[in-house]
Amino acid sequence: MNKIKVLIVDDSVVVRRIISDTLATDPLLEIVGVAANGHIALEKIARLKPDIITLDIEMPVMDGLETIKELRKLDRSLPVIMFSTLTERGATASLDALAFGANDYVTKPSNVGSVAEAMQCLRDDLIPKIKALCGQIVVQSIFNKPQPAQAKAAAESRPAVSRPVKKERVDILAIGISTGGPNALAELIPAIPADFPIPIVIVQHMPPVFTKLLAERLDSKAGIHVFEGAAGASLEAGQACVAPGDFHMLVEQNQEGLKVRLNQDAQENSCRPAVDVMFRSVAKEFGANVLAVVMTGMGQDGLIGCEHISRAGGQVIVQDETSSVIWGMPGAVSKAGLAEKELPLKQLAAEIVKRVELGRSYAPALVQAVRS
């Protein structure tokens, strides 16, 4: 049976032991080595040939950020999961690491009462991400599926999904995204023109603090205003609202306009915020006048919400498999027959603007702005 070979990089002996003991409980994972800093890790990679690395951010000699930058000079494909604290400093460093080429991150368990509880947190968060990023190995081990070359050929032979664009006017854009999201949003959102005529709502699976910093980073790069949602905040044309970590975000139209509503109801799809919650909300408030975009991410959050949007007559498009870090979320929507179109990340902005232009006489200028 093929196992996923993991290299653990962390300067703390205790943390290395907790991660090792946690991963050792899964028969599909094999710890092939540990390293106390990035310099040692880089020396071990060629010899150990890991399938994935867990990489601490704060380490002596060579920290996680320097390590990921050096690693990407040598290997652009080796999956890396950053290990950070749930603090503003940790969130900032994690977002930097993603920009430098890391694939995902896990926050260190905090406020847990025992080692056993810390290990359970890692089982719930770290192990699924390892398996998602090393999915081909898992598929071969469990199901004896085609080898990578065969799988790639099968994916390339699958016909592209494309249906005629619906004619309903779009009054809100709703985006659901997870693993690989910060970098994908950093490409998509700045490509949206500053005079975009409708509001945008975004659910990115992230904990508190992270979502605030993500919104600030996107705002600094984009022509539209991007902000983290707050209860009662107004949603305006030419603005994008990011759901805050640990809160479900809904939209509500009242006499004062379109407002953000937040709650801490139970997680859905093991997530809060959840894409499904937000998608159901926009389907209820806008019916056929919704454009939903499901982008890179593990799991299938957004699938049920897309069913609601589709039944209401709204539009659904997804990021394609090739440009997604993980094609779990968009893939689930596509396989369910709900996606009207699959598109590479680089083409999403133009497609969004094209659909929004319907019914708006000045919108062709927006299309030209995206294309230029």
Nearest Cα neighbor of 136 from 309, 295, 321, 12 is 321
Q: Closest by alpha carbon to 180, among 144, 216, 111, 133? A: 133
Query: 364, 316, 290, 313: which is closest to 162 by C-alpha?
Result: 316
Is residue 301 flagged as an active site residue? yes
Residues 6+ apart with CB under 8 A from 226: 189, 215, 216, 218, 219, 239, 240, 241, 242
| Residues 307, 295 contacting (CB under 8 angstroms) | no
Catalytic residue among 301, 308, 320, 323: 301
How far apart are alpha carbons 359 and 339 in whole angstroms? 22
How far apart are the two ends of the chain, measured CA to CA in Å? 50
DSSP 104: E
308 tagged catalytic: no
Helix 64-74 and helix 38-48, axial crossing angle in degrees, nearest 10: 30
Give the CA radius of gyration of the chain.
21
**Whole-angstrom distance, CA of residue 225 vs CA of residue 286:** 22
The C-alpha atoms of residue 346 and residue 365 are separated, in whole angstroms, by 19
Tokens 């905040």, residue located: 233
Sheet holding 290-294, edge to edge: 225-228, 239-242, 200-204, 172-177, 290-294, 315-319, 341-343
How do beta strands 239-242 and 248-254 pair? unpaired
Name which of 83, 298, 346, 348 is nearest 177 in CA terms.
298
Which residue has tokens 């809904």? Answer: 250
Active-site residue among 63, 171, 205, 281? 205
The answer to whether 56 is a known catalytic residue is no
Closest CA to 168 of 365, 320, 342, 360: 360
3-state secondary structure of 55: strand
Please tell me which residue in 11, 51, 94, 178 is annotated as part of the active site: 178
Q: Which residues are catalytic?
A: 178, 205, 301
